[in-house]
Structure 1
Amino acid sequence: MYSFPVQNISTKQALRRALADKRSGRIVFVPTMGALHEGHASLLRQARELAGAEGCVVASIFLNPVQFDNAGDLASYPSTPEADLKLCETCGVDIAFTPDPASMYEGDRSISLEETNLSTALCGATRPGHFAGVCLVVNKLFNLVQPTDAIFGKKDYQQLAILRRMVRDLDIPITLHGAEIVREADGLARSSRNVRLTPEHRAAAPAIRQNLLAAKQAYETGTNADDVRRDLTAALEAIPGVRVDYAELVDAETLHELRTPASPALLAVAAWFGDVRLIDNIELQRA
């Protein structure tokens, strides 16, 4: 167990000063939107191991308004700043960057950053502007922190793929690492939004994972892509209280719809329980 004194910094200028003497070693960055849970803790601990004793771990805690396409979702997003800093401390974070929106964005900002291929499907199809907001804020954070490495969770698989493309296409000198999904004991993917589920919805939500596992087995034992997609959608729609946003079988590299067998592939789902939207995915291999 780590227990580092966390330096809490809220301005860009102070962040640059704090990092000025750390450029000789590895700087590992974990961006978050706060309301940290065990999934985030896993990312932070991996960052600490990657940085080593001589490196520096930076976590940002910033609820980015630019990536929300739903004002209600932004307003209801949980905030636990004191607990977040405590978790950072126990996970070995050196610097927590906690800016507010006014310090991150100019009032007359006029530059956008948009990916036009990987972002057209899955979450991008139903959340207009979301990934443009993600790319903008992550690019800004990369410019501020200038890390050698950054870690993102695979639960947001499409986000990770888009950010890999951004780093590649813009020649950003950062190595991105994808971390495995952290789950509750019943299989539900950890999410800051889980606390907003009603007891009934929380009891039903683990069926997402169960149906993904069944679809994975079907695909990897020869069921064709269209049947896997159809059966998964039907199974998800049978979950009490659910409204399916999408259930897709895609190429894991391009994120485009899969019609013929390929490896690696990805099953990805998004589903609403009331006003809470949950996402999950599972990687597939087929001989």
Structure 2
Amino acid sequence: MDYISEMFSKDIQEHFFHSVRNQLSEKKHKIALVSTPRVGSTMFSNKLSPIAGKSIYREWLHDKYCIAFQQLTGKDFDPFVYLEQVLNLFNPKTNTFILNVHIHQYEYWKTNYQIDVFEYFQFDRVYYIRRDNFFDQVFSFAIAMKSGLWGSEIEEALKIGKDYKVLVSEEDIVTAITFLKKQQENYKILVEKHTDYIFSAERIMENQGTDEVSYLIKDVGIDIPDNIILKTQRHQPQKQRSVSCPKNKFEMKKYFTKYMLQHSA
């Protein structure tokens, strides 16, 4: 947990605190990439980094970044000052800003700061990533929730051993189902009306997001300068293995199927 807190603080130090300009009135491509957790949005964001630069590097609306920003400034948190810093992270070479937003982060900003980020940023396009295999999403979320290993970058930094495995319980599965189903419902209520196109998480994982990046560039009408190579600008740790246990996954899938049948009404 100490490392994760340091990671949030380091990201803020590296990418924020530049001169702030009012970017909202300037013409640029402003795009939202919306999802629930564990649908491959981080991997897709990596593929979009040559186009969007620092704006897509992290989930900047995460509450931990707000906390890190407040601690580093030593002042009361001003959400509008923070959002101006976020908007300053657009890529000037392509004039493009892409924000990776989870539904619960959208809710966090609306509840805690009374700011609707869709109204604030006035996105030109809103893309939603949907994972069709709900069990895989639930199981992945339960693993991350239980272990704190939300990405291969954290696994690499913590030097997780090759024999390390995470076992989840039936209770963990129910918690994951409850949270994700609520997020899916909130998407339909709060965000679906803003959505221009839905990407398949399975398709993104299958082709490493190549087709989706091409679609987004064409759909938005982004001009890519000749000197920009469409290769991720972020370090991507190579995930050599899964921290899940096959036997545990098999047992949890049986329980998941039974639970969903019982609660389908």
Q: TM-score of the superposition, structure 2-length normalised? A: 0.33
Greater RCO, 1 or 2 (C-alpha within 8 Å, sep 6+): 2
More strand by share: 1
TM-score of the aligned structures, taking structure 1 as reference length: 0.32
